[in-house]
Structure 1
Amino acid sequence: MVDAARGALGFLTRAPVGTDRQAWEAFRRTPAAFVPVGYLVGALAAVPVVLPLPAATVAVLFPLALVALTGINHADGIADVGDAAVVHGGEDPIAARRRVLKDSSLGVGGTLALALLVAGLVAAGAALAGLPPLAALAVVVAAEVSAKLGMALLACLGTAPADGLGAQLTRVSSERAPLVPVLLALPAAFLGIPSPAAAAALVTGVLTTLVFWRWADTHLGGVNGDVFGAANELARVVALHAGVIAWTLS
């Protein structure tokens, strides 16, 4: 489990833990290792939103904190999927989209997807600044746990269209494996009680991943590395906004 944790930190964050073949193999065979990283990243990323800073400042610092902690690899998945999503027509649109996924150049679809992602995170940071510190912390942690649980579910349930990162993460898990990741993520739903904000963030983020997974199966032919990264980013930003809305309405 130590190797799996080290592999998870090396893959999902910029933590200087060092990665090797043993850690990577342990991580990819242990989908549950995604989830604890969500608690850690969420707690650290929440630092700007719990400090007594102006909302505009938090709106800038919050996305920067996420980039500092996790890097840009998953955002690259958003860009690639955004480019692929705007491909239409042709005799084999799935094959055409998969070719675009492998293209390293950034197109209009990817640019728009990245712009919307950054705008969503900036807006979430500003909204979180208006919550009580403990409520904001609960939402950020639950959203990050939700994003990592979504990735674990993709590893457990998804199928890869070809060899690559997606295949390495999906071809060693069984459909019964989701139980442990789900159990590890459940405590995040109870953060910030009596407010339902954390529960809303956790559930909404997972639902976002599941919907995106079905879209990827239909339009991309399965789950590859870009889908994993895009799912993480989409689930996080949707969960953050859902948590803020739930707190506001409660």
Structure 2
Amino acid sequence: MGDEHPSKLAGHFRDWTRDISLAVGLLTRLPVPHPASAAPDGMARAQRAFPLVGALIGLIVGLIDRCLLGMGIPALAAAALALGASAALTGALHEDGLADVGDGFGGGRDRTAKLSIMRDSRIGTYGVIVLLVGFSARLSALASLPVAAIVPALVVAHALARAAIPVLAANMPFARDDGLGKSAGRPDMASVAMAVVIAVVLALVCLPAKAALLAVVVTIAGTAAMAVLAWRQIGGVTGDVFGAVEQVVETAVLVMLAARLS
């Protein structure tokens, strides 16, 4: 009996270590085993770790930006290079989803056409426009942040944006029977709640209370808006929609924080 409690703690630690590893393999290009062979239920539970991986990405990007600024590089150029590093770190996974959603939702005449366009690897006019708008908004927001706020703002924006993914995955129907979004699985509500709690706690720890609460409100609004849009356009979510919601929330939170903290 005396070994039961330590054994449970060890089991929880192994579960979290595995989930974080799976999340890192899915969301980044960092050298960890890719989760392609993971069981669907394992990938679904691993979504609770998405905000932790998002926070890690934000931390790395923020430190890159701070280092560039410390070398005397102008704020706008440093922000552009840091965002480029962010795309390299993630394999532009979410940017690709945003572009596909822009092309599909903007150019498709019906649900079938929209889904077909979103699966096409080529990028069209709508995709280019949404990428330019999103990158420009993040670029200007990041460049205008006070130096001391760069790392906290990026950690929070990336964590909250990744928390939006399991929320949609748990509550929206899948628009396809295949694809990355479907293969990642549907997390249970305990995993979703854990992801949300982690993201909100990170926001409260990293930011002043009012700014943190505003970031959470912006995240809720952005996630809800994307959910309604995806439902109306294709009747559910796909991996591309998950990428798009990450980009929308990340951009909205950064812009809000730049307005609040600058």
Q: Under a length normalisation based on structure 1, what TM-score does the superposition of the two structures give?
A: 0.87
Tell me which residue corresponds to 1:222. 236
Tell me which residue corresponds to 2:66. 50
Which one-letter code corresponds to 2:50 in the other structure? Answer: F
Is 1:86 the counterpart of 2:106 in the alignment?
yes
Q: Deviations over 1:7-31 (max 9, x none)?
A: 1001101110112413775233332
8 Å Cα contact 1:157-1:174 kept in structure 2: no
The RMSD of aligned alpha carbons is: 2.1
Is 1:36 the counterpart of 2:56 in the alignment?
no
Tell me which residue corresponds to 1:169. 184
Normalized per residue, which structure has more helix? Answer: 2
Distance in 1 between residues matched to 2:159 and 2:94, nearest whole Å: 15
Distance in 1 between residues matched to 2:112 and 2:38, nearest whole Å: 34
Structure 1 position 195, deviation (Å):
6.0
Fraction of identical pairs, as percent: 29
Tell me which residue corresponds to 1:186. 200
Distance in 1 between residues matched to 2:207 and 2:134, nearest whole Å: 28
**Equivalent of residue 92 in structure 2, options 63, 72, 79:** 72
* Distance 1:192-1:32 versus aligned 2 partners, 3 A rule: closer
8 Å Cα contact 1:79-1:109 kept in structure 2: yes
Tell me which residue corresponds to 1:158. 172
Structure 1 position 173, deviation (Å):
2.7
Q: How many equivalent pairs are there?
A: 241
Structure 1 position 132, deviation (Å):
3.7
* Distance 1:75-1:88 versus aligned 2 partners, 3 A rule: closer
Tell me which residue corresponds to 1:60. 80
Structure 1 position 65, deviation (Å):
2.2
8 Å Cα contact 2:142-2:150 kept in structure 1: no
Tell me which residue corresponds to 1:119. 136
Distance in 1 between residues matched to 2:127 and 2:207, nearest whole Å: 38
* Distance 1:192-1:168 versus aligned 2 partners, 3 A rule: closer
Between structure 1 and structure 2, the one with the greater Rg is: 2
8 Å Cα contact 1:150-1:209 kept in structure 2: yes
**Equivalent of residue 236 in structure 1, options 218, 237, 250:** 250
* Distance 1:84-1:50 versus aligned 2 partners, 3 A rule: same
Distance in 2 between residues matched to 1:16 and 1:24, nearest whole Å: 22
Distance in 2 between residues matched to 1:207 and 1:49, nearest whole Å: 28
Distance in 2 between residues matched to 1:192 and 1:36, nearest whole Å: 13
Tell me which residue corresponds to 1:99. 116
**Which range moves more in the overlay, 45-54 or 239-248?**
45-54
Paired residue secondary structure (1:3): helix
* Distance 1:47-1:95 versus aligned 2 partners, 3 A rule: same
8 Å Cα contact 1:35-1:185 kept in structure 2: yes
8 Å Cα contact 2:211-2:260 kept in structure 1: yes
Distance in 2 between residues matched to 1:247 and 1:125, nearest whole Å: 11
* Distance 1:6-1:42 versus aligned 2 partners, 3 A rule: same
Structure 1 position 196, deviation (Å):
3.1
Which runs of 5 or more structure 1 residues have no equivalent in the other structure? none
**Which range moves more in the overlay, 233-242 or 98-107?**
98-107
Which one-letter code corresponds to 1:8 in the other structure? Answer: A
Which runs of 5 or more structure 2 residues have no equivalent in the other structure? 1-14
Which one-letter code corresponds to 1:75 in the other structure? Answer: E
Structure 1 position 209, deviation (Å):
1.9
Structure 1 position 239, deviation (Å):
1.0
Q: Under a length normalisation based on structure 2, what TM-score does the superposition of the two structures give?
A: 0.83
